[in-house]
Amino acid sequence: MRIPLVAGNWKMNTSVDEAEKLVLEMLDGLDRLDGVEKVLCPPFVSLVPLSMMLQGSSIKLGAQNMYFEAKGAYTGEISPLMLSGLCEFVILGHSERRWCFGETDEMISKKVKAALANGLKPILCVGERLEENEAGKTEEVINRQVTVALDGVGLNVPGGDIEKAERMSDNLVIAYEPVWAIGTGKAATGEQAAATIEFIRKALAGLWNRDTAEEIRIVYGGSVTGANIAEFASHREIDGALVGGASLKADEFVAIVEQTARIKGRDRTSRR
């Protein structure tokens, strides 16, 4: 049984003071909700203060990016070693990294491996652009993004560490974020998202096996709000959401997590 996950990607928003204030506004509301893994991904500079504020709570932290080398002359970059111990998750391959900063599938693959090798859980983002969608290339694009990013991330890795590899399904989250739905207010429909997520799961089964693919969480992202989360959470295939803009509003983010918990909790009970 996959545990639903809702993550807030704050992107390049909030000063340290604003981030602390936002956490205070949502802390109690989020903390009392069970059955959903709750993750906040603030800007790097807020990870340290927030990690202290969230100690003893059920809310986890994620970074929004990282470099794949451990250390060295890479001005401006943040390494997996700096993040490990500070946060549990790291968003990798977000479309804004791909399209604003030129990240390739090959770079993202190195990042995924470096994250896993350092005990960080990647939230690997994949998604097609509008023109690719309109040209009927969604599956081709997604298949390439998934298979290149996860190439060599097998049951025998990371770092040849079988112990870690056996927990692969807990350690990796995939976010399907169609680029045309991000920040546009034009979310995919639940059916569209579920169909592509089913396709991603088949691609994972091809890389590993059906059982592992069934255990890996795949969430939807792109204009998720309190008003449309139910449409996504009610699909068995969709394990939660990666939320951008709406995660900057405490009430709305709590409402998204609350509805996900309620809908997924009801599903679990009805299937017993």
- Residue closest to 222 by CA, chosen among 174, 173, 179, 253: 179
Interface map 89-118 toward ligand 13P (x if CB under 6 A) = -----x------------------------
Give min distance, CB of 100 to ligand 13P, in A.
12
Q: How far is CA 138 from the centre of its chain?
A: 19
192 forms beta bridges with none
Q: Does 243 bind ligand 13P (CB under 6 A)?
A: yes
Q: Which is nearer to ligand 13P, 46 or 223 (CB)?
A: 223
Piece in contact with ligand 13P (CB under 6 A), picked from 101-109, 110-118, 219-227, 260-268: 219-227
Assigned token pair, 85: 């111990």
Q: Does 231 bind ligand 13P (CB under 6 A)?
A: no
Strands 5-9 and 121-126: unpaired
218 forms beta bridges with 174
Q: Which is nearer to ligand 13P, 197 or 242 (CB)?
A: 242
N residues, the chain = 272
The whole-angstrom separation of Cα 73 and Cα 76 is: 9
Q: Does 244 bind ligand 13P (CB under 6 A)?
A: yes
Segment holding 112, helix H or strand E:
helix 105-117
Q: Does 128 bind ligand 13P (CB under 6 A)?
A: no
Piece in contact with ligand 13P (CB under 6 A), picked from 44-52, 53-61, 221-229, 230-238: 221-229
Q: Does 218 bind ligand 13P (CB under 6 A)?
A: no
Is the N-terminal amide bond of 158 cis, ω within 30° of 0?
yes
Q: Residue 198: how many CB atoms within 10 A of its CB?
A: 14
Assigned token pair, 251: 């009430």
Helix locations, the chain, DSSP H: 16-31, 47-53, 80-83, 95-101, 105-117, 130-134, 138-149, 162-165, 168-171, 190-207, 210-215, 229-233, 250-271
Assigned token pair, 245: 């803009």
Give min distance, CB of 155 to ligand 13P, in A.
28
Q: What DSSP designation does 91 have? A: E
Q: Does 46 bind ligand 13P (CB under 6 A)?
A: no
Give min distance, CB of 94 to ligand 13P, in A.
6
Give min distance, CB of 123 to ligand 13P, in A.
9
Q: Does 9 bind ligand 13P (CB under 6 A)?
A: yes
Q: Which is nearer to ligand 13P, 117 or 121 (CB)?
A: 121
Give the catalytic positions in this structure: 94, 177
Q: Does 177 bind ligand 13P (CB under 6 A)?
A: yes
Q: Applying CB under 6 A, which of residues 122, 178, 222, 240 lies at the interface with ligand 13P?
A: 222
How many chain residues bind ligand 13P (CB under 6 A)?
14
- Given a contact cutoff of 8 angstroms between Cβ atoms, the answer to whether 61 and 83 are in contact is no
Give min distance, CB of 203 to ligand 13P, in A.
20
- Chain residues binding ligand 13P by CB under 6 A are 9, 94, 177, 182-183, 221-224, 242-246
